[in-house]
Chains A and B, each alone.
Chain A
Amino acid sequence: MADTHAHSVRFVRETMLPQQEPPAAERGAVKWMRQNLFSNLRNSIFTLIAIYCVYWLVTSLYPWFANGIWDAPSIRACREILEGDVGGCFAVLTERWNQLLFGFQYPSELYWRPTLAFLLLFIAIAPVLFRKVFPAQMLIFTALYPFIAYYLIWGGSILVPVMALLGFVAGYMVYARLVTQSFAMGFFGGIIAAFVVWWLTGLVGESTFLALEPVASRNMGGFMLNLMLGTVCVSLSIPFGIALALGRQSSMPIIKWICVIFIEFVRGVPLITLLFVASVVLAYFLPPGANFDLFVRVVIMITMFASAYIAEVIRGALAALPKGQYEAADSLGLDYPQAMRLIILPQALKISIPGIVNVAVGLFKDTTLVSIISMFDLVGMIRGPILASTEWNGVYWELLGFAALLFFVVCFGISKYSQWLEKELATDHR
């Protein structure tokens, strides 16, 4: 027994085996289907049911799209053309596209201005979103973009955005000068300098220098309004959210409690009530005759709301960072602003990307709530002027489906971008 065993153990390979293809059933699509769709009887049954559902959906929706009417003056005309067939009345989109996109009061000969602002938006956010692809100098345009966009969309004298820009520049210069002494001095000095400049330039009064035809905020509408509110509020609420999150962690009790109370109050109140406050109640508190733009009031309320949520997301990320990171930053002699900016926030923001994107997407969709305070955003336009018109009364699926499509494209884009960014920033190599 012992020597047969020893005999069978002995083995010397003389020829090496060449590499071979795996068996057909273990390759490519066939393998994938076997593993994922038909791995056992129950999975196979579910797969067949799912295939049937998809088939049923496609076959029932297809004629609706295929027979769709793209050219008709009213819903009645649509029905006459269809003669009882199933088919969508997409003519409302081709006929009312301008109202859906720009609202019904924005002068149609000026559509190029918001359109141009929209296109420039891509150039402005490109270097922020893809820092490695675009040169850093493009950030100068990003900084100028808010003023350009304001000038294009609202029109009026170019002096208004230029003066606003000057205020920011003055504020930044004072900040840069004073911050070497103390962060607080720089911060408040900068704010004071900006306000002084704005107050001084406000004395200049109305001007028509290089004026574009002015368009009032109440004339903004359609998807443009949603995009404007979404972009402005998201870009404002992230820095405010960061400040609130840091404030809530502060060791200075007054700052901490201001932040805690603000966050808890704003989170505890529905956005709708804040919007009603913006549209109705604020007017009682303002001095008579003070005309505080409704758009600005709504922006303030939505920004407050979103920044409270973002603050909590970032606070979670700050708490998740190991204490050693704070200690290492401290032990190297970095001061608080440096430690936050260079060590803590880059890591905390990376952790909070999914949460922030969640809030941003929610915020963007919540901009449709302004239709309740009689601003005619995309949903407001559909519910109001378009569905109430005699021509298009009853075209629900096509209009709301179009609105859903527009929002889906933007939100899905944001979501895809954030997933890409998470991968891009992953340096932990787990």
Chain B
Amino acid sequence: MNQTAAQHADMKVSDEVAISIENMNKWYGTFHVLRDIDLTVYRGERIVIAGPSGSGKSTLIRCINALEEHQKGRIEVDGTVLSSDIKNIDAIRSEVGMVFQHFNLFPHLTILENCTLAPIWVRKTPKKEAEETAMHFLEKVKIPEQADKYPGQLSGGQQQRVAIARSLCMRPRIMLFDEPTSALDPEMIKEVLDTMVELAEEGMTMLCVTHEMGFARQVANRVIFMDQGQIVEQNEPEEFFNNPQNERTKLFLSQILGH
């Protein structure tokens, strides 16, 4: 659908489809939160979703791993159509990693246990192997020395990096980020973004809801702008920031880039 983004010269994007969303609609009660969403994500794409609060961007990515239920339309993740069958949902969730705004680490488990829990119970990985994998990813997010601490002992930025490592331990094929830096102090935003940039450079398929426009310029190969539950504009980052077409996009950009 988006030819320019898919064929962008610098970005190694395959034409293998990772997520396809067709005519998806969602209501909260009678409130129409998502309206006629059509979106195809190719493997290896890094997509940033921006928009004013309440525009439905978080809800959109939460529909992809069925944390929210959609009422109409079709979502296909990694070749599996999302249905209400719980087995099917659990299968998709174990392939799709998610990072939350408030980290949502498990406070009663150590950092290492947070990272090994799902591989051991969902993937049935032997404990030893799961711990090795966990240490590998904790090193990757640069906090292996915290492995035996509890989440409450870590700073926000460290907790968010653990949350990323926890998702990666499941070896997901797609990562969803739901405002991963919005709850962080300015100094800690960078350490989390660095981790995400590194992940993007390795070719992970990523969907990020974020207000970090610098991140969008640096790593995204497509920026999607949403308003009132609809995709208003999408383009490759250069074009999106320098030459926005829709009036709402122009207003949004002028407000967040204005100072």
Tell me if B153 and A429 are in contact (CB < 8 A).
Answer: yes
Stretch binding the partner chain, chosen from B45-53, B91-99, B194-202, B220-228: B91-99
The answer for the CA separation of A333 and B122 in the assembled complex, in Å, is 7
- Judge whether A414 is part of the interface by a CB distance below 8 angstroms: no
Interface, chain B (partner A; CB < 8 A): 65, 67, 86, 90-91, 93-98, 100, 102, 104-108, 117-118, 121-122, 150, 152-153, 166-167, 170
The answer for the CA separation of A346 and B104 in the assembled complex, in Å, is 15
Tell me if A330 and B106 are in contact (CB < 8 A).
Answer: no
> Which of B86, B94, B108, B122 has the most CB atoms of chain A within a 10 A radius of its CB?
B108
Q: A331-B100, A336-B86 are in contact. List 11 more A-B contacts (CB 8 A).
A: A324-B104, A325-B104, A327-B104, A328-B100, A330-B65, A331-B67, A332-B94, A332-B170, A427-B107, A427-B108, A428-B150
Type the 1/0 row for A213-227, where 1 means its CB is closer than 8 Å to any CB of B. Answer: 000000000000000
Known A332-B118, A334-B122, A429-B153; contact A327-B93, beta-carbon cutoff 8 A: no
Q: Which 9 residue pairs of A and B lie closest in terms of their CB atoms, listed nearest first?
A: A333-B94, A328-B104, A324-B104, A332-B118, A331-B98, A429-B152, A333-B93, A427-B150, A428-B152
Residues of A within 8 A of B167 (CB): 331-332
The answer for the CA separation of A428 and B105 in the assembled complex, in Å, is 12
The answer for the CA separation of A332 and B125 in the assembled complex, in Å, is 14
Nearest residue, chain B, Cβ from A327: B67
The answer for the CA separation of A300 and B122 in the assembled complex, in Å, is 37
The answer for the CA separation of A329 and B89 in the assembled complex, in Å, is 13
Tell me if A425 and B100 are in contact (CB < 8 A).
Answer: no
The answer for the CA separation of A35 and B197 in the assembled complex, in Å, is 57
The answer for the CA separation of A192 and B93 in the assembled complex, in Å, is 34
Tell me if A342 and B117 are in contact (CB < 8 A).
Answer: yes
The answer for the CA separation of A428 and B153 in the assembled complex, in Å, is 8
In the assembled complex, the CB of B80 is this many whole angstroms from the nearest CB of chain A, namely 13
- In the assembled complex, 14 residue pairs joining A and B whose CB atoms fall closer than 8 Å, in A order, are A322-B104, A325-B106, A327-B104, A328-B104, A330-B65, A331-B67, A331-B100, A332-B166, A333-B93, A333-B94, A334-B122, A343-B106, A347-B108, A429-B153
The answer for the CA separation of A328 and B151 in the assembled complex, in Å, is 14
Name the contact of B108 in the complex, choosing from A322, A328, A332, A350 (C-beta under 8 A): A350
- Judge whether A393 is part of the interface by a CB distance below 8 angstroms: no
Residues of A within 8 A of B100 (CB): 324, 327-328, 331
In the assembled complex, the CB of B96 is this many whole angstroms from the nearest CB of chain A, namely 8
Tell me if B121 and A342 are in contact (CB < 8 A).
Answer: yes
The answer for the CA separation of A329 and B121 in the assembled complex, in Å, is 11
- Judge whether A335 is part of the interface by a CB distance below 8 angstroms: yes
Tell me if A428 and B107 are in contact (CB < 8 A).
Answer: yes
In the assembled complex, the CB of B118 is this many whole angstroms from the nearest CB of chain A, namely 4
Residues of B within 8 A of A350 (CB): 108
Tell me if B121 and A347 are in contact (CB < 8 A).
Answer: no
- Judge whether A338 is part of the interface by a CB distance below 8 angstroms: yes
In the assembled complex, the CB of A350 is this many whole angstroms from the nearest CB of chain B, namely 7
In the assembled complex, the CB of A32 is this many whole angstroms from the nearest CB of chain B, namely 32
- Judge whether A42 is part of the interface by a CB distance below 8 angstroms: no
The answer for the CA separation of A336 and B122 in the assembled complex, in Å, is 12
Residues of A within 8 A of B108 (CB): 346-347, 350, 425, 427
In the assembled complex, the CB of A411 is this many whole angstroms from the nearest CB of chain B, namely 28
Tell me if B121 and A330 are in contact (CB < 8 A).
Answer: no
Tell me if A333 and B91 are in contact (CB < 8 A).
Answer: yes
The answer for the CA separation of A324 and B152 in the assembled complex, in Å, is 15
Tell me if A330 and B150 are in contact (CB < 8 A).
Answer: no
The answer for the CA separation of A334 and B96 in the assembled complex, in Å, is 12
The answer for the CA separation of A430 and B107 in the assembled complex, in Å, is 12
Residues of A within 8 A of B95 (CB): 333
